[in-house]
Amino acid sequence: MTAVVLFFLFVSVYLYLVFGGADYGVGILELLSSRKNKKLTRNVAYQIIGPVWEANHVWLIIVIVIMWIAFPRYYYIITTQLHIPLTLMLFGVVIRGTAFIFRHYDAVVDGSQKIYNKLFQYSSIITPFLLGISAGALISGQLVPVEDLEQHSFAEAYIHPWFNITSFLMGIFVVSLVSFSSAVFLVGETSGNEQKLFIARARKANLAVALSSVLVFGYGIYAEEVFIDHFFDNSLSIVLVLLASALLVPIWIYLGKEKKVMVRILVAIQVLIILGAWAQSNFPYLVFTREGAVSIYDHMATDTVINSIAYALLAGSVLILPGLFHLFKAFGLFKVLQPAEGDRGNRGKTV
């Protein structure tokens, strides 16, 4: 049953990166839009994420619960040594959600909407950046072994593990990735000149993803980071990264041809391959400390607890996933906006 729990953990991380990432990305695209295009981006984004933005955080909650119950050692390492970026990330989630609600549903329309817009935009870029920083901290090799925490200063134990170049580069990579994912979804929700605008943004974001990934690997090689050794020692991970890179060609081709469905599918596959390459190269050693790697099986929960959470996850997926799928299909990221009069040839298809 451990495999079942790990499967749900991986899938939840993946779905949060795809759907939650696309959610964050609309705020980033809005922030980086020109003044004349900000309102357009805001209106299109709202029609997509308005009904589903709360549901996207379900995946993050599942990840936290699984880590807390099934893999308490990992949970302890992450929530103690990374409590600063994770707490700031949580503030970002709350501020972003609050700003999103008030800028659309505030009873009084006044200058406060401008403040809410800024809060939404900047929290949309800061939150995934902190998520990337936290992910980078897990592979940077700067974490302190749990047994040695008391022997280190506050800065050594709780700042240095995430305040480093590898973590910052991972933050940039995650921001670029969610921006690209969001731009692709927005391409599928528009037509005409609006669609061309988001195609251009998708291509720019795609270039940012490629550049930031090169920086992560390049610096890792330069600094002789331990995750680089794990990666190059695993032939399957190398193949997966090459495959993810090769998908850039059909993605760009289908963007040019405005093939909305295929672009979304390819991007979802690309993100899955990238996440799979990381997991494959390191598993079961997903956390690296200054004294070496820590296995996810280290001090995991008892078989009774693992079996219980596995059955709960299986039952929950049967009951909840169909409803979430219907929600996304009917109102959110799987639905292309209804066509305007005279433009029914370009819109109205459901993905």
Q: pLDDT tens-digit profile of 26-64?
A: 888 888 887 777 777 777 777 666 555 566 778 888 999
Share of the chain above pLDDT 90, in %: 27
Query: What digits encode the pLDDT tens for the residues 97-130?
Result: 888 888 777 666 677 778 888 898 899 999 999 9
Return the amino acid letter for 48.
I
pLDDT per residue as tens digits for the range 250-281: 888 888 777 777 888 888 898 899 888 888 88
pLDDT at 342: 39
Q: What is the DSSP string of 75-134?
A: HHHHHHHTHHHHHHHHHHHHHHHHHHHHHHH-SS-STHHHHHHHHHHHHHHHHHHHHHHH
Mean pLDDT of 311-325: 82
Other Cβ atoms closer than 10 A to 317: 14
Q: How large is the average pLDDT for residues 177-205?
A: 83
Residue 258: helix, strand or coil by DSSP?
coil
How far apart CA 154 and CA 122 sit, in angstroms, is 29
Q: What is the DSSP letter of 144?
A: P
pLDDT for 197 equals: 84
pLDDT-derived band at 338, boundaries 50, 70, 90: very low
285 beta partners: 295
Q: pLDDT at position 50, please?
A: 57
Closest CA to 337 of 197, 194, 189: 189
Tokens of 23: 């959610």
pLDDT in tens, 24-33: 888 888 888 8
Burial class of residue 333 in the structure, from the number of CB atoms within 10 Å of its CB (0-12 exposed, 13-18 middle, 19+ buried): buried
Give Dmax over CA atoms of the chain in angstroms: 70
Give the integer Cα–Cα distance in Å for 230 and 234.
Answer: 7
